Amino acid sequence: MVEGGDGSFSLYNVIEILWSFLQLLFLSMTVGALFGMGCSYLLKKARSITKSVVSECTVLFAFAYLAYVSAELMALSGIISLLVCSIVQKEFAWLNCSMQGKQCSVGIFEFLGLLAQGFVFSYLGLTFFFYKNY
């Protein structure tokens, strides 16, 4: 926000920017923590989910994705929310998974990460050669 059209910042502007950043950070972290704890609670109480490796991995992925999407829909940071959700899931939901679920989820998420990384680098490489400088 520019006051008076001269382009100068005041201390009030700095405090306002800092306050909105901290508010966004705290709310995004809260959304991520709530979804991470919800996933942990579901895996602890609904033991029928832990009978299948596929359902365990699906629940872990779905809650992380829901944390991201919910934060984005609330005009918060989906990346921060996803990060906090995954940290909470690692600390709490991981303990409620079966041994096979733990092993398979590591493999599946490593594969998805490798796939996403390959897509990003392929996309960047292809757009580099097709970029036209006008």
Q: pLDDT tens digits for 28-65?
A: 999 999 999 999 999 999 888 888 889 999 999 999 99
Q: How confident is the model at residue 2 (pLDDT cuts 50, 70, 90)?
A: very low
Q: Is 70 exceeded by the pLDDT of residue 93? A: yes
Q: Pseudo-torsion of CA 116, 122, 125, 126, nearest 10°?
A: -130
Domain assignments of the chain as residue spans, ordered by start: 24-128
Q: How confident is the model at residue 6 (pLDDT cuts 50, 70, 90)?
A: low
Mean pLDDT, range 13-32, rounded to an integer: 96
Mean pLDDT, range 108-133, rounded to an integer: 88
Mean pLDDT, range 70-93, rounded to an integer: 95
Joined tokens for residue 58: 């699906």
Q: How confident is the model at residue 125 (pLDDT cuts 50, 70, 90)?
A: confident
Mean pLDDT, range 86-114, rounded to an integer: 90
Q: Is 90 exceeded by the pLDDT of residue 7? A: no
Q: Using CA atoms, how far apart are residues 94 and 42, in angstroms rounded to an integer?
A: 12
Q: Whole-prediction pTM value?
A: 0.80
pLDDT of residue 1: 45
